[in-house]
Chains A and B, each alone.
Chain A
């Protein structure tokens, strides 16, 4: 428990500040954003309190919003992500089952499982952010492209970061 908790807090602080200071300034191909801090929210153990996770999402979302100048938008999508996450986790159990208090990361459950777990969540997150930000469906194709490209780039960064910095099991 303690190791996961400390790893979570440290990775959360590092990822949120990296997002604010570094990744906010990058837009790949002009339309792709890298929301690397999602790795922190996605990697929280399955046992994390559902309500607590949503309030944490609200807090982190608002901090991100302050720096993106989009008050409420990232918070709303991040709370949505944390609300559906437990249901998606129990619908998408890896073959070996979950272990108590394990971080939900690639090193523990494998690349295939992690892709299946994170891809729909990150994509729905990006969709909510960009459609609420656009305010209407006028720029539908542009917005959906933005969401798709951002999902791919976010996932690429998240997966590389896990290979580099997260411990492998055993």
Chain B
């Protein structure tokens, strides 16, 4: 026994080293569980407020470009507003109005500002300055004026941590707009301006510049939200699928204001899907 103890004492540095490393590995594995509940560590209030202060300083120098992008979005929305006024053929239509608008509101947009953003890692995250107090929940989609940005992963009271589209473990269900064919957009881990559209078969004609948008096969994003445009396409080695590179429409290097999307019917949609006996055998 004494020998054992003296042995343990001699190698205490190594033993403690192994124990600390196991603890770190446990943290990494916990944190790698991307889709389920994760540590909200970097959305915690202390880290969040330090980041917000730092962002306030650096954000000051970007005010002009942020203003320009917001003004451009305003202009686009105004244009949309002016074109969407349809002239009714039957004058009786003018007297019909919805009595209950809650049913027609499927998506609600909550505005937030990005206070911390990463684009240089293989698996990137960003933090926004709204949390559960503003109605943000894990699983909500995040977009900005140019397109899809990511998905909320963990929330604290005033901050939320989100998985960026620039994360190799965050594939998004997408649609090739001209052909309406479904695929998956996944980031490959190196270039923050490019992603890969997968699972499009070779019989589809893909042109450079075709638009890729979100599909209606998910409860996270509304359909037809811009993701990017096709850069190049070539058949893969087995000639089954196309390797399609797309240019992302969002400039992740200068994210500022974003919208979190609350889908009012998400719970209903998910519970219906989970009753499918074929999915969970």
- Which residues of chain B have C-beta atoms less than 8 A from A50's C-beta? 13
Q: Are A72 and B122 in contact (CB under 8 A)?
A: no
Q: Assess whether A98 is interfacial by the CB under 8 Å rule.
A: no
User: Secondary structure at chain A's binding surface: helix, strand, loop or mixed?
Assistant: helix
Q: Are B54 and A21 in contact (CB under 8 A)?
A: yes
What is the bound-complex CA distance between A33 and B119, given in angstroms? Answer: 12
B186 to chain A, nearest CB (A): 12
- Which residues of chain B have C-beta atoms less than 8 A from A21's C-beta? 50, 54
Q: Are A66 and B31 in contact (CB under 8 A)?
A: no
Q: Produce 1/0 per residue, B119-139, CB < 8 A to A.
A: 011111101000000000000
Q: Assess whether B32 is interfacial by the CB under 8 Å rule.
A: yes
Q: Assess whether A75 is interfacial by the CB under 8 Å rule.
A: yes
User: Secondary structure at chain B's binding surface: helix, strand, loop or mixed?
Assistant: helix
Q: Are B12 and A27 in contact (CB under 8 A)?
A: no
Q: Produce 1/0 per residue, B8-37, CB < 8 A to A.
A: 000011101100110111111011100000
Q: Are A31 and B17 in contact (CB under 8 A)?
A: no
Q: Are B118 and A68 in contact (CB under 8 A)?
A: yes
Binds B, one of A118-126, A130-138, A160-168: A130-138
Q: Are B120 and A33 in contact (CB under 8 A)?
A: yes
Question: Do A76 and B189 contact each other (CB < 8 Å), given the known contacts A30-B120, A54-B17, A69-B116?
Answer: no
Looking at chain A, what size class is its interface with the partner chain?
20 to 34
What is the bound-complex CA distance between A76 and B23, given in angstroms? Answer: 9
Most chain A CB neighbours (cut-off 10 Å) among B21, B54, B116, B124: B21
Q: Assess whether B42 is interfacial by the CB under 8 Å rule.
A: yes
B257 to chain A, nearest CB (A): 19
B contacts, CB < 8 Å to A: 12-14, 16-17, 20-21, 23-28, 30-32, 39, 41-42, 44, 47, 50-51, 54, 58, 116, 118, 120-125, 127, 161, 168, 189-190
Query: What would 8 A/B residue contacts be, using CB atoms closer than 8 Å?
Result: A50-B13, A51-B16, A66-B41, A67-B51, A71-B30, A72-B26, A72-B31, A139-B189
Apart from A67-B51, A70-B31, A72-B24, what 6 extra A-B contacts exist at CB < 8 Å? Answer: A54-B16, A58-B23, A66-B47, A69-B116, A134-B189, A142-B189
